[in-house]
Every structure is written in C-alpha cells, then in structure tokens.
Amino acid sequence: LPQVGVSHVVLAVSYMSEALEAAMREQEQRVGPGGPGHWAHPPPCGVTHGRAAGPLALARDLLAEDGEPFFVLNSDVICEFPFAALARFHQQHGGEGSLVVTRVEEPAKYGVVVSEADTGRICRFVEKPRVFVSNKINAGLYIFSPGILQRIQVGAGVLELGWAGGPGPPPQPCALSPQLRPTSIEKEIFPAMAQEGQLYAMELQSFWMDIGQPKDFLTGMCMYLQWLRAQHPEKLHSGAGVVGNVLVDPTAKIGANCVIGPNVTIGAGVVVEDGVRIKRCTVLEGARIRSHSWLESCIVGWSCSVGQWVRMENVTVLGEDVIVNDELYLNGANVLPHKSIAESVPEPRIIM
C-alpha cells in the first residue's frame, strides 16, 4: 500500500471489531515507520456489509481531505490485489470510478458487467442474465475520485472516528449522521455512474475468489497457495511427509509419521501430534490435533483441541476453543465457539 501512495486505512467494523483493530496494529508494527495508519468506525444504522455506501459517507472528511483518489475493498475476497495497475488505469481514463472485474465460468449465477472492449467504459449491469451478455463480474475492488461522495445522501450530526495511530495528527470528527439512509453502491450508485459514462472496468489477470462461505474460503486458500508456489515458493513448507502446497508457521510443531497436504495452512503455535493426516485444511493459531486423526476440507479454529483417532471432513468448521473428544466422526459439522463435542456428527448440521 505505501508503494502506491496509501497513507491511511479506514475500517468499517462491527462484529469482533477489537480483533480486527488488533490485527491492524500488528501489521503496522510489522511494516514499521512510514506504513499506513488506520482508523476504525462502526457502520451506520442499517448497514451490515461493505457493499453499502454508508461507510464511505461516514469517512467522507478523511477520504476527501487531500482530493486524491482512494481505494475501496470488500473484505471477503482474496486475489493478487493490483493496486498499482488499478491506480494507473483510473488516472488514464479520467472517470469518477474504476472497478476490477474477473471472468467466471457460470455468469448466470451472478450480476455481470457489460463494458466496452477497447476503453473499459461500463455500459450497464445485468443481474443473473438468462442469455449470455458477459462473463465478467464485479470483483469487489475499486478506486474512486472524491466526487463519488457527493452521490451519497447524508444528514446532520457528528460521528467520531477512533484514531489508532499512523502518520499525521488525529482527524477531526466527521460531521455526518450515523442515521444514514442505507444506500447500495452496486444497485444505486454504480448504475447511475455507468449511465453518465463515469465508471470503468479493469479486468483482473490473476486468481480471485469470494471467501465469504467456508467452502469458498478453502477454495480461495488453495488458489493462494498455488500463487505462492509460482511467486514465492521459498515461503512454502517442505520435507518428509509434506505433499504439494503447504504453509506452516515457524512456531508450529509437527510430529512423526504425519502426512500434511496438499493445500494446508497451519498457524502459529499449532501442535500436530504423530501419525496425523491433514489435507485441504486451515488450522488456526494455538490449535492441537492429537495423534492419528484424519482431517480433510476442514477449518479448525483458534485454540481448538481435536482428539485422537478423530475423522473430520466435508467442510467441517470448528469455532474458537472447540474440544472434539477421541474417536469421533464429524461430517460437515459447523460447531460454534467454546463447545465440547462428545458424540459423532454423521450428517452436516450446526452445533450451537
């Protein structure tokens, strides 16, 4: 981000906002002086996701302060973020907004973007087309000129943003109301911009995945690991028992006679005991997988404990601090945090 001139990051936060802010502070420390600082604020009343325009309105004073374009990102996508290329594209066409598009195999499942082949100017949006008009969809990455903020209705009042460090003094409170009318960027603002010839599309040339659902998260993880294999193979784990693309934190411990991979990520402080088989899984920080267990297509949450001779598969998801007793079978179980599982789950279900 600093390489493309980004000095601050604004987060629209709600659920687990403290964890998000803590993660941002860790990133600031890792980047060091000169990296972007960040602000965090709750979304306006009635706004529950980043595709709404409310968070942009609440951050109007911050975004418009220097008159420069700003990036907007949906938080549930993973890709090789083309910040520099997108900034150049936006500057070249001179319109009010630019969005990144990606090609999909089944466009009828999505709202598609129809644009001019030579310029990228967006002509229209078509929701779940019955006949083929385009196979390009909105990838959830944008760059806007400050003029877009004039398109979002605001009221009177003050909402203060929390300052979390970074270069420059703390910002002044935003003179905006948290009682904004919920406004959809995709359904209201983008069509108007396209009609006025102010919105352009740049096609993404690398991998992309919406990771908002567990099964899609695992697919996105596989794509990311393959990208690492091509771009930074030295970051991947190798050695006895490692199959394919595997990413292991240096503080994790893996026992004897394990087979790990393909497509596995193992977080900090994880302990994998002897004889464990893991493939197509994410194991998060502090988890423990006890001996001779078998995991495929699973997400194991922070500080979980999976017992001996356990089999888990079919997009089983364990929330934080879940205990799975020995010799159980979990098939597509979605387990909420801080639960103890004492019997098998042979069919997919949510355990609350």
Enzyme catalytic residues: 128
Q: Two tokens at 1? A: 């981000």
Helix (H/G/I), strand (E/B), else coil: 349: strand
180, 154 contact by CB (below 8 A): yes
Q: Two tokens at 215? A: 């099964």
Q: Two tokens at 272? A: 């994998």
Those residues whose C-beta lies under 8 Å from the C-beta of residue 252, and which sit 6 or more positions away, are: 266, 267, 268, 269, 270, 271, 272
Q: Chain-centre distance of CA 126, in angstroms?
A: 25
Q: How far apart are CA 337 and CA 154, in angstroms?
A: 38
6, 36 contact by CB (below 8 A): yes
Q: Two tokens at 234? A: 């030295």
Q: Two tokens at 311? A: 């089999």
Q: How far apart are CA 69 and CA 56, in angstroms?
A: 13
